[in-house]
Structure 1
């Protein structure tokens, strides 16, 4: 029994070194902007740059809207497929996998072709229309992750029994989805929301080709023109990711403790 345990610790150690050594090297490099000593000059430059605040706030707002749109689309769809149309599940899964097969550059060029100023729906002619188009593109890219997270959450509950119980109490379909199904798959929805947030923050192709002030193009621009600031931005983005994970875990714990005990 001791030998497998030793190999498990060796595998865990190698995995930690594989993930954390590059992070430690990035942090150490980001502190070397001032010659001969460690400093926070690179981080100070990033936070004082108005473009950082503009692009990051823009991507955060886009991520929030994308999460809302994704939840409104995916949760009812996954619920109806599991409850009423289980035979359509392979088809729906295939459709949700298409964004992983089709490159984002193909998707965004299709958007530009269909919704340019000479089309019947000229979304690219205005800033608000382009923002809407970019948000829908983000929702498309996050569809595989959001759908699978929600579908996994629905597998852990008895959808049919909950639906029949809610109907016996006179609940309509919006009430069933919003007040019965959603609280039971909230952890899964938050997992999908976290993945969506990460995709939106780091996405480059769609934002660049649609010429929107997003965080992904800003990262690429700084990386092409600066030395230490890109490392600082990478550390900041990593920290934001871990903060989001911590908030998800906190919300999960609060959700579990707020549920009434089962009789």
Structure 2
């Protein structure tokens, strides 16, 4: 038992060194913009850059839109599959895993070929259409994470009993979904939402190929022309991801505490 614990600590230490040391080096470099001393000049330059503000705001809006589309698509689908079509679960899970297998560049090239200006639905012919196409692409990329989070949340409750009880009281499908199912899987939905937010903020390929003013392409463009500012921007991007992961943990623990209190 002690030997297993020793090797577990060794593996943990190796993981910390592998992931944390490069980030510490990146952080240290980002503070060296002022010669001979540490400062936050690079962060100040980045945060006051109109390009950063515009691209970050755009990505935040796209992340919120993606979360809304993902919830509207995934929650009813996962609920109906568990309630009425349990035999279809392996097939649905396979479909939701495809974005992990198919590269994002293949997906976006398919979008461009299908929805260019010479097609029946020329979404790439306008800024609004391209934004819609990008939102759908982000929804596809986040689908494996959102679906699994929601499906796990649905598996933790007795949706069949809840549905039958609500139907016996005359509740419609929309009422059941909005007032019974969704509140009971809210923590799972939030977990999927935070993961989706992190994915959208850091995504580069789709936004660049669709020529959208997103945060990922701005980070790449800044890295090609400057030295310290890209390091600061990378630290900020990592911090956003960590905040999302931390919020997932907080929401999950809060839900467990709330469930224990009700018991």
Q: Deviations over 1:143-198 (max 9, x none)?
A: 11111111111111112112112222222111111111112211111111111111
TM-score where L is the length of structure 1: 0.93
CA distance in structure 1 between the aligned counterparts of 2:188 and 2:80, rounded to whole angstroms: 17
Where structure 1 has 5 or more consecutive residues not aligned to the other structure, the ranges are none
CA contact (8 A) 2:198 2:240 kept: no
Partner of 1:83: 83
Match for residue 4 of structure 1? 4
* Gapped regions of structure 2 (runs ≥ 5): none
1:120 offset after TM fit, Å?
A: 1.4
SS at structure 2 position matched to 1:124: helix
The corresponding residue for 1:43 is: 43
The question of 1:62 aligning with 2:62 is answered: yes
* Counterpart residue number, 2:242: 242
- 1:14-38 residue CA offsets vs partner (Å, 9 max, x unmatched): 2222222111111101111122211
Does 2:226 align with 1:226?
yes
**Greater Cα shift, 172-181 or 69-78:** 172-181
In the TM superposition, what whole-angstrom CA distance separates every residue of 1:2-61 from its partner, at most 9, and x where no partner exists?
A: 333333333222222222211111110111112221111111110121100000000000
* Corresponding residue SS for 2:170: coil
Q: TM-score, normalised by structure 2?
A: 0.93
Query: Matched residues in 2 for 1:260 and 1:181: separation?
Result: 20
Distance in 1 between residues matched to 2:258 and 2:237, nearest whole Å:
31
